[in-house]
Amino acid sequence: MRGDTTRVLIAGGGVAALEAALALRALAAERVTVELLAPEPLFWYRPMSVGEPFGLGETRHFDLSELAAQAGGTFTPGALLAVDASQRRARTSGGEIDYDLLLVATGAVPQPAVPGALTFRGPADTDRVRELLDRVDAGRIGRLAFVIPAGAIWTLPAYELALMTAAHVEGRGVDLVLLTPEREPLALFGPEATAAVESLLDERGIELRTGAYAEAYGDGALVVAGGELVAADAAIALPRLKVPRIHGIPQTVEGFIPVDAHTRVVGLRDVYAAGDVTSFPVKQGGIAAQQAEVAASAIAAAAGADLEPSPFRPVLRGLLLTGGAPRFLRREITGGFGETSVAAAEPLWWPPAKIVGRYLAPFLAGIAGVESPSATAPPAGALDIEVEVDPSAVANSYASRPPLPGERVVEDVMNADPLVVAPEDTLGELAEKLRERDAGSALVCDYGRLIGIITSRDLLRAYAERVHPSEGTAREWMTAQPLAVPPGTSLEEAGLTMSEYGFHHLPVVDDERPVGLVGLRDTVRSSVAPAARFRVGLGT
Ligand SMILES: Cc1cc2nc3c(=O)[nH]c(=O)nc-3n(C[C@H](O)[C@H](O)[C@H](O)COP(=O)(O)OP(=O)(O)OC[C@H]3O[C@@H](n4cnc5c(N)ncnc54)[C@H](O)[C@@H]3O)c2cc1C
């Protein structure tokens, strides 16, 4: 604290960071000073990148220091690298920053998930998609595949790309196929949305393959887990999201940060997280903004504002366009910045190009008119969607493979007595326990629930950061919400999961309680489709 003012450091300069800064200005006013920290000096507004290759709108970007100033804060260039929560100190690429309250809103990094396919990450890839469309136009691509990989949880862009391509190639005899690991298309949005998008795909002649885990593309075909080949002259895939390590903060194996209902980083004092960086399984701008508002209300209350912090109740909102409507004018889609000619494709979601954020949307509208499409009435036949998201439903929306009759399962071979430690065990205590049991890893349990796994490599990471053995705890350095399998998982399935992630061991859980540990050597490698993986403690 400096005088009566609480210093809030927000790491990030995207949707969640800006929404939080604006919410703090409204809720805490002069009780807080807000400093935004981000390595890139620009804020990218990405939703329109899906339409860009089709000439429908363009991705926009804004100067972050100007946005920060208008939101009542300051901007510092740099990347958050490590956090010492006990000292309230952030280590950044530009030096150390002391804070009173920290909000981590650093987003996630898209990674190719299907080797050989064109990965569509957003603005950076619109030229490559456009080049691919040129090849379609030149008659060199007769069959194009769109791929949603396992773990890509904002699936809408894949459907939008497929539908826009269908409109682009209409009547030219180009085959389009969409592969998704979902049981049903857009399963997360509920049965009405599924039915609507199914009939849209059908109407546009797009072949749909559900429960399909595409592994790679090459030699004119996609290889699908289980060995099936799906022919295609080219493939466009969504990325898988990952988060780089931020030392001193519990993260999942993909780097996501577990938070509680008030977006506090589980087990750390005065550290919050919001947006794609959290382990909440739906990565979407609207959800990121909702989390940012929750974080801002908790931070404002901690800074002395007279309010009751509201818990996170994630809701996906929007209108799914069912296709019965007339086509849009381009200006509607581009928010007034494009031409006014009739567009050849339609958006799937209304309002198009919109990230719903209570504070961010009007803010951007005020300074640049970004959200102006919302002023236009949605077309007739749109389906109103307001779905409260249940994290466990996300895991269940993926198809899984039950073990075959007589197939050996994890329970048959697992070590039923693994080393279990407490989250508050110090690194020194942990090292002793590992040595006593001659073990390389331990399961971290809180009230009997598995919340993490910690290995001797994590101890080395902590020591390299000069953390004292009696100060650092298992909770700060563990891999949080580890991948785990139920006892009835086939050995092939467990082996595949370990190979994919480069693990040597996998916890075995029964209703979130650890019942064993299975090793890679215990399993048999095969090419059977990965089943739904259990991640314990999702969205806690
Ligand atoms: C093609 C595409 C289309 C999309 N369309 C929509 C849509 O229509 N509607 C919707 O709601 N959502 C959409 N999304 C998703 C939406 O863009 C994201 O969910 C949202 O941007 C997440 O916000 P965030 O603040 O968590 O992360 P981001 O917006 O990604 O921001 C992360 C910020 O953190 C900074 N950063 C990174 N590392 C560090 C570090 N170590 N230290 C400090 N700062 C760091 C980055 O520079 C950036 O400023 C789309 C995404 C894509 C890719």
CATH code for position 505? 3.10.580.10
Atom 11 in ligand 1: residue holding the nearest Cα: 285
**255 lies in the same domain as 358:** no
Domain assignment present for 137: yes
Q: Where are the alpha helices (DSSP H) in 313-426?
A: 330-333, 360-368, 391-396
Domain assignment present for 540: no
Q: Which residues line ligand 1 (CB under 6 A)?
A: 11-17, 37-40, 46-47, 49-50, 79-80, 105-107, 121-122, 154, 157, 275-277, 283-286, 288, 355
Strand, helix or coil for residue 451: strand
Q: pLDDT value at position 389?
A: 72
Between CA 10 and CA 24 the distance in angstroms is 11
Show the CA angle centred on residue 130, arms to residues 124 and 136, nearest 5°: 145
Of the three residues 359, 380, 395, the one that is the final residue of a domain is 395
Place of tokens 């996300």: 394
Between CA 371 and CA 355 the distance in angstroms is 8
**What are the backbone angles phi and psi of residue 28, rounded to the nearest 5°?**
-115, -15
Q: What is the pairing mode between strands 449-455 and 479-480?
A: antiparallel
Place of tokens 């399984």: 281
Give the contacts of 447 (CB within 8 A, at least 6 positions apart): none
Domain at 161, CATH number: 3.50.50.60
Atom 40 in ligand 1: residue holding the nearest Cα: 79
Identify the CA nearest to 161 among candidates 348, 295, 307.
Answer: 348
- Which is more confidently placed, 323 or 231? 231
Q: pLDDT value at position 503?
A: 80
Atom 8 in ligand 1: residue holding the nearest Cα: 47
Does residue 330 register a pLDDT over 50? no
Between CA 538 and CA 540 the distance in angstroms is 6
Does residue 177 register a pLDDT over 50? yes
Show the CA angle centred on residue 37, arms to residues 35 and 39, nearest 5°: 160
Number of domains in the chain: 4
Q: Does residue 379 contact residue 350 with C-beta atoms inside 8 Å? A: yes
**How many CA atoms within 13 Å lie on the side-chain side of 182?**
26
Give residue-wise pLDDT tens across range 372-425.
444 455 555 556 667 777 666 665 555 555 556 677 889 989 999 999 999 999
Q: pLDDT value at position 417?
A: 92
Between CA 147 and CA 225 the distance in angstroms is 13
**438 lies in the same domain as 487:** yes
**442 lies in the same domain as 384:** no
Residue of 9, 15, 96, 102 to mutate, ligand 1, most atoms within 8 A of C-beta: 15
**132 lies in the same domain as 190:** yes
Show the CA angle centred on residue 464, arms to residues 458 and 470, nearest 5°: 70
**How many CA atoms within 13 Å lie on the side-chain side of 394?**
23
Domain assignment present for 311: no
What 8-state DSSP symbol labels residue 259? B
Lowest mean pLDDT among 135-139, 146-150, 512-516, 526-530: 526-530
Percent of the chain past pLDDT 70, that is, above it, reads 80
Q: pLDDT value at position 304?
A: 95
Domain assignment present for 213: yes
Residue 304 alpha carbon to ligand 1 centre in Å: 30
Q: Does residue 161 contact residue 50 with C-beta atoms inside 8 Å? A: yes
**149 lies in the same domain as 128:** yes
Between CA 393 and CA 320 the distance in angstroms is 20
Range from 93-107, 434-448, 504-518 that averages highest in pLDDT:
93-107
**412 lies in the same domain as 516:** yes
Residue of 92, 106, 321 to mutate, ligand 1, most atoms within 8 A of C-beta: 106
Domain assignment present for 221: yes
In terms of residue numbers, what domain contains 506?
400-535
- For residues 171-193, average pLDDT: 88
Atom of ligand 1 nearest to the CA of 38: 44
- For residues 143-159, average pLDDT: 87
What 8-state DSSP symbol labels residue 325? S
CB-count exposure of residue 242 (10 Å: 0-12, 13-18, 19+):
middle
Place of tokens 């006593």: 436
Listed in order, strand segments (DSSP E) in 389-433 are 420-421
Residue 243 alpha carbon to ligand 1 centre in Å: 12
Atom 31 in ligand 1: residue holding the nearest Cα: 14
Q: What is the pairing mode between strands 206-209 and 175-179?
A: parallel
- Which is more confidently placed, 30 or 46? 30
> How many CB atoms are closer than 10 A to CB 78?
17
Edge-to-edge order in the sheet of strand 95-98: 80-84, 89-92, 95-98
- For residues 312-325, average pLDDT: 66
**358 lies in the same domain as 431:** no
Identify the CA nearest to 243 among candidates 111, 109, 152, 119.
Answer: 109
- Work out whether the CA dihedral 123, 127, 132, 137 comes out positive or negative: positive
- For residues 497-501, average pLDDT: 75
Between CA 345 and CA 343 the distance in angstroms is 6
Of the three residues 356, 378, 395, the one that is the final residue of a domain is 395
Atom 20 in ligand 1: residue holding the nearest Cα: 285
Residue of 355, 358, 359, 385 to mutate, ligand 1, most atoms within 8 A of C-beta: 355
Q: Give pTM, 2 decimals.
A: 0.81
Between CA 267 and CA 85 the distance in angstroms is 10
CA–CA distance from 56 to each of 83, 158, 234, 374 (Å)? Answer: 42, 16, 22, 17
- For residues 468-496, average pLDDT: 87
**122 lies in the same domain as 98:** no
**262 lies in the same domain as 229:** no
**491 lies in the same domain as 524:** yes
Atom of ligand 1 nearest to the CA of 80: 42
Of the three residues 395, 427, 451, the one that is the final residue of a domain is 395
Query: What's the chain's average pLDDT?
Result: 83
**130 lies in the same domain as 207:** yes
Atom of ligand 1 nearest to the CA of 79: 42
Atom of ligand 1 nearest to the CA of 18: 25
Residue 18 alpha carbon to ligand 1 centre in Å: 11
Domain assignment present for 286: yes
Residue 316 alpha carbon to ligand 1 centre in Å: 16
- For residues 324-342, average pLDDT: 32
Domain assignment present for 168: yes
Tokens (6 digits) for 78: 């740099």
Residue 62 alpha carbon to ligand 1 centre in Å: 14
Q: How many residues does the chain have?
A: 540
Lowest mean pLDDT among 40-44, 271-275, 322-326: 322-326
Residue of 49, 111, 284 to mutate, ligand 1, most atoms within 8 A of C-beta: 284
Domain assignment present for 1: no
Residue 14 alpha carbon to ligand 1 centre in Å: 5
Give residue-wise pLDDT tens across range 63-110.
999 999 999 999 999 999 999 998 999 999 999 999 999 999 999 999
Does residue 204 register a pLDDT over 80? yes
Tokens (6 digits) for 219: 């030699």
Residue 277 alpha carbon to ligand 1 centre in Å: 9
Atom of ligand 1 nearest to the CA of 275: 26
- For residues 251-271, average pLDDT: 92
Residue 323 alpha carbon to ligand 1 centre in Å: 28
Atom 53 in ligand 1: residue holding the nearest Cα: 122
Place of tokens 């019965």: 324
**117 lies in the same domain as 99:** no
